[in-house]
Structures are given as structure tokens and as C-alpha cells.
A and B are shown apart, each in its own frame.
Chain A
Amino acid sequence: MYKRKKGSYLPYALIAPSILIIVLFLVVPLIFSLYVSLWRSDFMNFSKFLGFGNYLKLLGDSDILFSILRTFCISFISLVISLILGVSLALWLNSLSAGIAFVIEILILIPWVTSMVVSTLQWKWLFQDDLGLINYILSLFGLQRQGFLSDKNLAMYTLIFVMTWRIVAYVMVQILAGLKGIPKEYDEAAKIDGANKFQIFSKIRLPLLKTPIAISAIIIGLSNLNNVTVPLTLTGGGPGRSTMVIAIEAYEQSFSYGHFGESSALSILLCVINFILIVLYIKAVKYEI
């Protein structure tokens, strides 16, 4: 076994650049955000120390609380759907021959590798009330045009759809990699013991896929929670406040109103929520790094 020589600084030197980057671009801004959140700092003009005043103000604002709740709902529904679809697609692809699976895999991966803004704008045009292709197709079948983006009851589902469409491919790749890592002997042994397909999946594959599912859930859950690009580009939080998520609230507080204190407080709250979720996820799935 390798034993580090006493006084060798090579390992430290090797990790130093990464640590430096993390400190500079993650830790320092985080601490600065925390500092900003304690002040009335309109346009970064630190005019009054408020302590936790910004936090209390935000948590006492029903609009903000609804935005937090809405963000959780959208993220959770999108997460569940993408996990179900991702696992299903991975199982299907795993059963196909290598060539066909390769082609389908590439096709399914396109949404994940396409720029988020570009793909969201495309969906926005497809979902348009009057010129949108989807409404045009509906009208060809004699169906009524739908306000996918203008009907406040429908807009949230449209947003969930676009967010999910993007991340399904990522889940699929993760799960497929996990499936490929399961030795075929396990399946064969189970078959000999008389297990059916469902039993093989639920008793053998699923437990072995726990880690890739957990990783996917953590990553896409956090990605959904913090996603500002898709909601901002697709609906801008509207109509009304029907798709207003916490990331847009933070964006608006800073870039529409210049209220960097409130915006930083919201970002810190989001960061805490993220942190709690990561811990919960890891505890729940007993995922060991």
C-alpha cells in the first residue's frame, strides 16, 4: 500500500488549484452573498444593517412563500416523471441490440445536449396560441386551441413538460450505465430460480440501481430547483404569477428592482434548501461517496 512520505507536499500541490477555484468562485461569493443578505443593499449600496430583516420580510411575504411551494411542486413532479421515464427508457434500451440502442440513445440525448435557452425558445414557439405548431395540429383534428402558455391553469404543466423533456435523457444515461454494470449472471441465476421479469427487476436490478437513481435524483432535483433559464425563457413566471419560481423571484429582486439584499437572502434560502435536500437524499439512499 502506498504510504505518503513524511513532509511530502505533492498531494496538497495537486489539489491546490481545484481548492483555489472552489474557494474563489464558490465559497467567497457565498460568504459575500450572506453578508449582502444582512443589509439593505439596493444596487449594492449598503445603506442599513438589517440582520435577518430581509429573511423575515421574505418569509412573511405570501407571494414568496407561494413561489417556494410552487418551485417544490414543479421540481418534484418533474423529478418523478423524469425518473419513471428515464428508468423505463433505460430498461427498454438495455433490451435492444447494440446498433439500434446506439441510434435511439443519440436521439434521446439531443434534448440534454441542446442549449437550454435555444430548446426552450423552440418549445415556446411550438406552444404559441396562434402561430404555434401544436395548436395548429390540434386545430387540424378539429380540437380547440389551448393556451399552453397564456392559460394560468395550463402554463405550469407546460413548464413541467419542458423541464422534464430536457432531463429525461440524463436520467436514462445514468440508469443505463448502472444496468450495464449489473453482471448478467445475476439475471440468469434468478431465471433458474424461477423469477419472472418483474421480480428480476424489483428484487435484483432495482436495488442495484439504487446508487445511479440516487445520483440522478440528486442532480436533476437540484437542477430543477435552481433552474431559472427554462421558466424565465418559457413563461417569465406568468401568466400572472402562475409559474413564478423562486429563482425568478431572486433574479427579479436583483435585476429588475436592484434589491440585492432581498435577492441574496432568497439565494441563501435556496442554498440552505439545496443543502438540506442533498443531506436527506444521501441519508435516504445510504449513498456513500
Chain B
Amino acid sequence: MKRMLLVLFLVLGCFTLFAGAQVETDAPENVELKFWTFLDPKNPSNSRAVVLGKLIENFEKANPGVKITIEPQVHSTLAQKMFAAHATNSAPDLFMVPVDMLGRAIELGVPEPLENMFLKNWTAEDIEDVTSGLWTAGTESTGLHYQVPLFGAVYGILYRADYFEKFGIEPNFKNWEELYAAAEKLTFVDEKGMQVYGLGIGYNPSVVDYYGALPQRLLNRQGGVYKEDGYPNDWAGKEAQEALQLELDAVQMGITPESAVSMTYEDVFVNFAAGQYSMMFITCLRIPQIMNAASFDKGNIKFMPIPEIKEGEGNRVFSGGWFTGAWSKGEHKDVAGKFLEYLISPEADALWVTEAQQIPIRKSTVPKIQEFFAKPENEWVAIAAQIKPYTYVAPARFSVAGQAQDWQNAFILAATENFSVKDALEKVQKDFIERNLNR
């Protein structure tokens, strides 16, 4: 009997121990959040990755038991992988998604509305502090917010101030005519015998972005890019044809090399850093990398807005970059939400700006870091912040997958496949419709 009782107590004791362990595992303070991002905090050369690493460290210290594990992903396949993982219930708690994939993410139910996590506790003043076109992206259908805009980017022109000075050119052009005229002057052979081109752009569709005249014209002309139902708004019309012709002219004039058809933007970045371009289109997110890689004095690298194609038409630009969200089926959405909130907190926002040179998300951050903006090497961040109100985010209520690629393809078809400008635009418009709408 005694032996039986002993065995019984032992079994009960073991059960209690395991039960205790179970409670320990489920406790909210022992949570691991997986985060899919293209940033790897182990990479010290990427300032955004370094800041992310610091913020994770701070958050983990402030929230004992919470661990955030980064699983770095390839940026070009991150969204598709995330959507597939969502469908198979194996997605991470936190993820990044490119700006133009947000609509698809919402449609598939991937991100959790911020209102269900932390936004319900925010005051109107808090919300006003972060409100911008990027912050409200994705809200048009349900009114709910699904993302924090890390890292919203604006497009502009990067230029060599020393070359501008050499040829007596003033930046901040009024229109593309002035831009091209300057680019012609800035196309020259330097003292080392290297051909320097006036305007850098890459059309290889393996890397896509909203550069060039076509996206800008479609955005700024009357009627915008899309119709209400998500169909392209006359992408092959007169204005679009003029814009594509403008892009082709750059090659014909010799201000952009013929190799633009095969070059990716990564190639153009590297060539700019090597001194081969006087100007190039760029998303501001990449400026710190180019400055670090420059083979010349980085103080000569300056940033300016893209001019209007037609005066008076407006110079809104597409917004590029990324959004960050929490997975709707995640087990620890409350903690994930807390981390998202921390990523855009006043403390974090200042760190993103001062250490990773990102555009501030909060209006209140700017006056706090005037010293940072006063430094000449940070002048471009202030300019990017000025461009930010003119950015456009594609509507999230319908799919726009591949739109930037289509516009690059239009150039390639006209430049290499003997398509007329009109036929090239009609072809890419048809491709877009078949891909996104007629399915």
C-alpha cells in the first residue's frame, strides 16, 4: 500500500511539474515573435538593419520574456512568400510588405488591423502626429489601418553637386525640358577618360521601381493611374505616349546609355557610386548605401525633387518602400502590436532618422532633431521629408501587381522589340489587365 501511495505521489508530483512547465511556456512573458524582413541586424553595413537590431534589443529589455527573432528574407520574394505562408498557416508574427503589395495583403487577410492591437488606445493627437499618405495607405475600403509605414520612400533625383558646379548648372529644375538640357551638358568624358552620363536609369525588369517619365505622367495627368474599378486609366493615351517617348529620347540624345535596357537599378546605383552618372532617379531609401559606396567625396551627393513633366500638371510621385504589419493569425498579436507601436514610437522614430537616415514618420520628430537636419550630409533627408506630402500610394482595394514592371517593359518593347510607342503601351496595359483583372 505504502509503495502504491509513493508511486501515486510521484506521478502526481511529475504531473504538477509538467503542468507548471506548461503554465510557464504559455505565460505571455515568454513569447517568441518571428519577424520576416529583408533586413539582417547582423549586417553592420546596413544602417537600417543596425537600428532595427537596437530597437529589438531595447524592446526585449523592456519586456522580459519576449524574444524577437529576425528571419531575413530576400526582398524581391518576401511578399509572395508571406502570402503563401499565410495560406498554409505558417507565417511569422511580424512581416514587411512592399508598398504596392499592401492591397493584395489586405485582400488576402494577411495583416491584423492596428485598431485591434494598439491603435484603439491612441488619442486623436497621437494619430495626427503620424498621419500622412503612407500612414493611411490601405484604409480606403474598411477605414482600418493595417500597417506602420516602415520604410516609406519618396522618389527624387540624386545628383553630383561638383559636376553641377563645374558646368554652372542650378538644381531644382522646373520641368523635364530643363532636366534634359542639364543632362546633356552633364554628359561628358571626365579627366580619366571615363564616359559620364547625364541621367541614370535602369529598365531591366528583374528590379522594378517607379522611375522615369511614364509613371509620373500617368500619375499627374488628368484622371490618374486607375479607373474606379481598378482598370488602367488609358495607359496608352496621348499623355502616356508622350511620356514614353520622353524616356526613349533620353537614350537617343545620349544622356542615358543604351545599356539602360539591360541594367537593373542595382547596376545604376553601383555605376553612380563609381562616378559614371551626373544624375540618377532614386528612391531615398537607397541614398545612405550609395553615399557609403561612393568612390568620390560623398559631400558632393545631393538630392532634389523630380520636376513636373508639364508645368502646372503637378509633381506627385509614387511612394516606394515598405510597410510593416502583424500577421492576422499570429498567436501573440497583442505583443506583436506592442512591438509595432514601439517601432514608430517617438524614441524609435528619432533613431530611424538620425542613425538610419529615414524620413520621419512623426511630425513631432522634426523639431526635436534640428541639429541633425542642419548638417550638410543630412540635407537630403529634409528634402525627402518635403517631398513626402506629394507621394502617392496605389489603391489597396484592387491588385496592382506588376504595374511598375509593366511600365519598364513598355520602354523595353519600344527600345528593343520594334514596338511603336503606342503598341508597347497597349501591350503592357493588356498584360496588366490579364494579370490582375481578367482572371
Contact = CB atoms under 8 A, between A and B. Distances in A.
Interface of A: 40, 42-46, 124, 128-131, 147, 149-150, 152, 155, 232, 235-242, 254-260
B104 A258 contact: yes
B83 A239 contact: no
A109 B83 CA distance: 41
A130 B259 contact: yes
B206 A155 contact: no
A24 B263 CA distance: 39
Nearest to B104: A43
Nearest to A158: B262
28 contacts: A42-B439, A44-B83, A44-B88, A45-B108, A124-B267, A128-B267, A131-B271, A147-B259, A149-B259, A152-B417, A232-B206, A235-B262, A236-B205, A236-B264, A237-B206, A238-B204, A238-B205, A239-B416, A240-B412, A240-B416, A240-B417, A255-B76, A256-B405, A257-B435, A258-B79, A258-B104, A259-B435, A260-B84
Interface class of chain A by DSSP: loop
Interface in B419-439: 435, 439
Interface-centre pick from B80, B194, B204, B259 (highest chain A CB count, 10 A): B259
Given A128-B267, A130-B197, A258-B104, 14 more contacts: A43-B87, A44-B86, A44-B87, A45-B87, A131-B274, A147-B259, A150-B261, A236-B205, A239-B261, A239-B262, A240-B416, A255-B77, A255-B80, A256-B401
Interface in B61-92: 76-77, 79-80, 83-84, 86-88
Contacts of A131: 194, 271, 274, 276
Contacts of A259: 435
Contacts, number: 95
A257 B100 CA distance: 12
Given A240-B416, A259-B435, A129 B257 contact: yes
A242 B416 contact: yes
Nearest to A242: B416
A124 to B, nearest CB: 8
A238 B86 CA distance: 32
B249 interface: no
Contacts of B401: 256-258
Interface in B169-209: 194-195, 197, 204-207
A149 B439 CA distance: 34
B305 to A, nearest CB: 28
Contacts of B257: 129-130
A236 to B, nearest CB: 3
Nearest to A234: B262
B83 A129 contact: no
B41 interface: no
Nearest to B110: A43
B316 to A, nearest CB: 25
Nearest to B84: A44
Interface in B393-417: 401-402, 405, 412-413, 415-417
Nearest to A241: B417
A231 to B, nearest CB: 10
Given A44-B88, A254-B80, A240 B413 contact: yes
A131 B194 CA distance: 8
